Chain A
Amino acid sequence: MKRLICAFALLILISSCGSNRKSAEQALLDQVDSTSLTDTGISEEVISDIIQQIPSPLEISVLLKEVGTEYDNDILNAASNTSKYNSNYKRALNLGIYGTDLGYTNIYSQNQDALFYLKSIRDLADGLSIGQFFDFGTISRLATNSNNLDSLLLITTQNFNKINSYLQEQKRSNLSVLLLAGGWLEALHISCQVNEMNGGNAELVEKIGEQKIILENIMLLLSFYSETDPSISKLMENFTELKDVYDQVEITYTYEDPTYEVVDGVLTIVDNSSSSINITDQNINDITRITASIREKVIN
């Protein structure tokens, strides 16, 4: 019986050693990034569900190229700005911004600029201890040949998805939220600037108006951290100004039952629903101005 108790105690000891090791790892992570201690009161699962709704900024970059606008790196955040970003808050926001800039340069096959942005992304990702999820070697190699665009976009998107998943797993969702907010802000800024330079483009105007939906999600995500994180609270204040304008934008949705067709074995749905955006020139001007102003604070 004594031996049985000894064996049982040994098993418990082994199990508890495992959990102690886990706690030590967690403690180290918490030390590396004190913002991860933020208690939002909201479950990680809920936050993760909202985060994954945010669309990729790549969709906007593809639209910009499709509407025939020229590549313009003056509207991007200079790749050389990385040295300005010394806090995790700034690093995460600007990692998102550079991610969008990289996608934009990739879509336009601007290989040299893409390499500059890759270096900036590596520096910021390393600063946030997430550099291991970015395959810089492969991406750099792919970026030097414009025939590799599909693979380049795939790997870049996968890497950013992995970073987001990792941050959420490590209970550092606040950084994931900032990364997405930065990426979205940059995509909106580029759209607004391109729209302004082209004297107003119907598709771009609609795309800018649609961002009302994304802004609502981002504001919701930021609100989970705003009470405990002064930087996020300040950012949310800035976004509130933008939201005030977006509140004037109307999105109308009409549902109709879908139909479908199968052509050569491929199932294609015919979406009979529709949506329209009611947005004025003044709204667009205000959104352009406020977005540029928020971004200015973020990148400097």
Chain B
Amino acid sequence: MRKFITIFSITLILSAFSFQDVMAQCNAQSYSEECIGKLPSGFTFLKSFQVDGQGGAKSKVEYSYVFSKDTQYSINICADGESTDGIVVSMYDSNRRRVMTNYIDGNFYDGVQYPCKATGIYYITFTFEGSSKFCGGSVLGFKR
């Protein structure tokens, strides 16, 4: 009986640890959904992006999208609280040259407007600068 209680206790402890892991997981989907409300007026929602740096294990989260000439895009970032929690969004053209970032002169902006002048595939890259949770969401909208 004592052995059974010992095994049962160990199982309970292990379950508790695993439950804590789940709780600590990044709910990037929730951030990306909340972020839709951050799109500036006049922009139509296109896509939401989940930014899960897996607690710092991942240094970069990348997506891509075909942006169109003469269309204005807005990319907004959401993280815990009002700040971007060190989440940096940068955009690169198909030759990997940077065309946009929200991290300028040491300031993090939670939204960037990008009036695109050249149609093509662009890479939307999220990195982390002094982030505490490495977790957030982002949303892309457009207007003509």
Chain A residues at the B interface, C-beta cutoff of 8 Å: 3-4, 7, 11, 49, 52-56, 58-59, 62-63, 66, 150, 153-154, 157-158, 161, 203, 206-207, 210, 213-214, 217, 251, 253-255, 258, 260, 262, 266-275
With an 8 Å Cβ cutoff, the count of chain B residues facing the other chain is: 43
Known: A4-B7, A52-B65, A213-B66. A269 touches B115 (CB 8 A): yes
Known: A49-B64, A271-B116. A56 touches B4 (CB 8 A): no
Chain B residues at the A interface, C-beta cutoff of 8 Å: 3-4, 7, 11, 36, 40, 44-48, 63-71, 93, 95, 97-100, 102, 104, 109, 111-121, 142-144
A86 to chain B, nearest CB (A): 32
- Compute how far the CA of A213 lies from the CA of B67 in the bound complex, rounded to whole angstroms: 10
What are 21 A-B residue pairs whose CB atoms fall within 8 Å in the complex? A53-B121, A54-B66, A55-B65, A59-B142, A154-B36, A158-B45, A161-B47, A206-B69, A213-B66, A213-B121, A253-B93, A255-B118, A269-B99, A269-B100, A269-B114, A269-B115, A271-B99, A271-B100, A271-B116, A273-B117, A275-B118
Q: Are B104 and A213 in contact (CB under 8 A)?
A: no
Q: Are B36 and A267 in contact (CB under 8 A)?
A: no
Q: Are B117 and A274 in contact (CB under 8 A)?
A: yes
Q: Are B104 and A59 in contact (CB under 8 A)?
A: no
Contacts of B71 in A (CB 8 A): 59
Chain B residue nearest in CB terms to A66: B144
Contacts of B63 in A (CB 8 A): 49, 52
- Compute how far the CA of A157 lies from the CA of B63 in the bound complex, rounded to whole angstroms: 18
Chain B at the A interface: mostly helix, strand, loop or mixed?
Answer: strand
- Compute how far the CA of A206 lies from the CA of B70 in the bound complex, rounded to whole angstroms: 11
Q: Are A52 and B64 in contact (CB under 8 A)?
A: yes
Chain A residue nearest in CB terms to B29: A165
User: A210-B69, A260-B104, A267-B102 known; 15 other A-B pairs, CB under 8 Å?
Assistant: A52-B63, A54-B66, A55-B65, A63-B144, A154-B44, A161-B48, A206-B69, A210-B119, A251-B120, A253-B118, A253-B120, A262-B109, A266-B40, A267-B104, A275-B117
Known: A273-B99, A275-B117. A153 touches B111 (CB 8 A): no
Chain B residue nearest in CB terms to A155: B45
Contacts of B45 in A (CB 8 A): 153-154, 157-158
Contacts of B121 in A (CB 8 A): 53, 213, 217
- Compute how far the CA of A206 lies from the CA of B98 in the bound complex, rounded to whole angstroms: 25
Contacts of B68 in A (CB 8 A): 55, 59, 207, 210
